[in-house]
Amino acid sequence: MPQQQMNPRGRDVTPILLGIALTVFATLPFWAGKGLVFLAGIVLLQMVFALAFNLMFGLTGLVSFGQAAFFAAGAYASGWLARMLPDLPFFLTIAFGGAVGAVLSAIIGLVALRRASGIYFAILTLALGQLVYTLIGKTTALGREDGLIGIARPVLDFGVFEINLAAGDNYYFLILTASVVLSAILWWVWHGNLGRILAAIRQEPERVRFLGIDVRRYREYAFIISGTVTALAGALVAPWSQIITPMLAHWSYSALPILFCLLGGRSRFWGPAVGAIVFAGLEHATRTMVGVAELVVGGALLIVVLAMPGGILGTLSALGGRYFGTKREAGHD
């Protein structure tokens, strides 16, 4: 079962942190510079990327080192289609990116989950992900190593009115809205029947199989849902950055959601989102430390992971429960 996010002794701090984060992201364009707003848009999509990954990692226990392939597939598919058919409705290009990610994840999941498990599954997904990275870098239509550039932010035509996504911070607010919607869908899956079955599979796969549930099929469901949502996040990043390169499919980019999950707490739904925010904050704070930024960030992350086995969110919830529980007990006495 997914770990409950309510400490029985006290109050859960997750809703408080979620409200603060949403308020900051929603008001950011009104008080921050353009550079910080751009970074916030990337972080929002990376949060969705990490939450989608944790649907496998946190629930089913599957570790994939090829998730960046789906992110890149969504970005390249939508970016290529937008350049080829600039008059095509924007949401169709985003949907196309998600569809490509769904098909790719279905193919890779079918091959990987039928052939391997555990560490072998992780290595196989790494190999398949690197294959996608190589193919992108060798494909002329996708810009080869130079990538795709000049991806425009379109105008949304709703008939009675239009929204120019290239004007002001309109596209940022679209990313914020899309991130909330995609996160809500993942939250629903995590806390629904599918999420409970996936959690049971992680804990007792043999017992679940004995009950007549096709374990491999449900793992494939998780893999496809994760890949599809990841591809949708990638499709949204293309017009935001307006340039995409093969590095989006590299294995090092696949390591980011794993880091976010460990940092924020993989047993809690919002843990990866917290990890993504903290990691981005550390990188932004050390951006001027030439030559030592990587050491500072790496050292800080190592301390957090070692000192907080349950991740930042798990530790904060435990501390909050202890504080409020103690306070309530003192008041009762």
Question: Does a structural domain hold residue 6?
Answer: no
Cut 0.85: pTM above it: yes
pLDDT, tens digit (0-9, with 9 covering 90-100), for 10-58: 456 678 888 899 999 999 999 989 999 999 999 999 999 999 999 999 8
Structural domains of the chain, count: 1
Question: Does a structural domain hold residue 125?
Answer: yes
Question: Does a structural domain hold residue 325?
Answer: yes
pLDDT above 60 for 5: no
Question: Does a structural domain hold residue 3?
Answer: no
Question: Does a structural domain hold residue 236?
Answer: yes
Q: From residue 157, give the alpha-carbon distance in Å to each of 89, 93, 163.
A: 8, 14, 7
Long-range contacts of 90-99 (CB under 8 A, 24+ apart): 90/154, 90/156, 90/165, 93/235, 94/232, 94/235, 94/236, 96/235, 97/73, 97/231, 97/232, 97/234, 97/235, 97/238, 98/74, 98/228, 98/229, 98/231, 98/232, 98/235
Q: Find the helix or strand (DSSP H, E) in which 149 lies.
A: strand 148-149
Question: Does a structural domain hold residue 282?
Answer: yes
Question: Does a structural domain hold residue 4?
Answer: no
Question: Does a structural domain hold residue 8?
Answer: no
| 128-132, 151-155, 197-201, 321-325: least confident range | 321-325
Domain limits at 178? 14-332
pLDDT, tens digit (0-9, with 9 covering 90-100), for 124-136: 889 989 999 999 9
CATH of the domain at 188: 1.10.3470
